[in-house]
Amino acid sequence: MKRIGILTSGGDAPGMNAAIRAVTKTAIHHGIEVFGIRYGFAGLVVGDFVPLTEADVDHTINHGGTFLYSARFPEFEQKEVQEKGAAQLRKHGIETVIVIGGDGSYHGALALTRLGINSVGLPGTIDNDIPYTDYTIGYDSACRTGMDAIDKIRDTASSHHRVFIVNVMGRECGDIAMRVGLASGADAIAIPERPYNIKEIAETLKRGFANGKDNGIVVVAEGVMNANDFKNELLKYGDFDARANILGHMQRGGAPTVVDRVNATKMGNYAVKLLLNGKGGLAVGIENGKLSTHDILDLFDGKHQSDYALLNINDEMTK
């Protein structure tokens, strides 16, 4: 193996640059040239490749986003488009690829492996919804951003005896909502995977105010309901001074946490070593604190195991 490519695909996540850095530095250490593929699979198909040196990645570990840029490219599901991408790689002498992204990105990595380009996937998504890994790259940073925002929101909520409904990201996975809600002392947490009762949430808030609380915080995953709609439903069961706040894409930005920097570095380093050993079609994860690999095909059949104990703990302390 003389040349390796690396790309980021789908939504950006803090820690992606740390992973790119780890891949680049590890590969160069082993005498391998590294090429960054800009704009994900869209850039792959048109041959938007740039050589990466140690100097290019030296000061990237603390930066959010991805300096290789990202793009959604559903056209890569087509066999003829996949073949164009593989042809571009062969044209440039790139024998292996590391793909950082979510579920759709893994489909692309598997397609390349089947076309003879060994590829390894790294879990890069703030939603933490990838099977067989306890943490995805960006999840911890997104949670920190959400917690910091709610800490600030609570200051104004307390000043005015208000209830704030706060939307955090997570269309189909409530991991961010559960972790941020518990860490910020939310009165209630609503996630898409578990049933919730707005009337009961209203009663919890009423009880809190009756017991001397001067504010209320409800954390709602975006896959449950828009914060404004949730607020309107809540007001049917209580005369609250309520506001809605949607954190949105700010959760994807900012410097990655220590957890994300270290996890991304470990996974990037490991991915290069897998390719050096001729292995492809694999997804790297961290399970019980240790690096692990699974066939990418297993991920399509598997289901991410959320820690619903966080929700149960919060319910026990607030109801």
pLDDT digits 0-9 by tens, 163-209: 999 999 998 999 999 999 999 999 999 999 999 999 999 999 999 99
Are 157 and 164 contacting, i.e. CB atoms less than 8 angstroms apart?
yes
Q: Helices 79-91 and 103-114 sit at what angle, rounded to 10 degrees?
A: 70
Supply the pLDDT for residue 78.
Answer: 96
Q: Which residues are catalytic?
A: 127
Across 247-252, average pLDDT? 94
- 193 burial (CB, 10 Å; 0-12 / 13-18 / 19+) is middle
Average pLDDT, the chain: 96
- Please give the residue that has the higher pLDDT: either 184 or 302: 184
Edge to edge, the sheet with strand 118-123 lists: 49-52, 33-37, 3-8, 96-101, 118-123, 282-287, 290-295
pTM beyond 0.85, yes or no: yes
Please write the tens of the pLDDT for every residue from 96-150: 999 999 988 999 999 999 999 999 999 999 999 999 999 999 999 999 999 999 9
Q: Helices 258-276 and 139-160 sit at what angle, rounded to 10 degrees?
A: 160
Q: Sorting pLDDT into bands at 50, 70 and 90, what band is 297?
A: very high
**Residue of 19, 68, 24 lying closest to 48 (CA atoms):** 68
- Return the structure tokens found at 286: 């961290």
Cα 122 from Cα 17, distance rounded (Å) = 12
**Residue of 206, 248, 263 lying closest to 22 (CA atoms):** 263
Supply the pLDDT for residue 319.
Answer: 82
Cα 213 from Cα 44, distance rounded (Å) = 55
Q: What percentage of the chain exceeds 90 in pLDDT?
A: 97
Supply the pLDDT for residue 72.
Answer: 86
Supply the pLDDT for residue 103.
Answer: 87
Across 242-266, average pLDDT? 97
Instruction: Mark 40-78 as b/e (b = at least 16 C-beta within 10 Å).
Output: bbbbbbeebbeebeeebbeebbebbbbbbbbeebeebee
Across 216-239, average pLDDT? 97
Q: Which domains are seen in the chain, by residue range? A: 3-135+259-301 (3.40.50.450), 139-251 (3.40.50.460)
- DSSP alpha helices (H): ranges in 92-225? 103-114, 139-160, 175-183, 198-210
Q: Sorting pLDDT into bands at 50, 70 and 90, what band is 1?
A: confident
Across 34-63, average pLDDT? 97
Ramachandran region, residue 67 (left: φ > 0; alpha: ψ -120 to 50; beta: rest): alpha
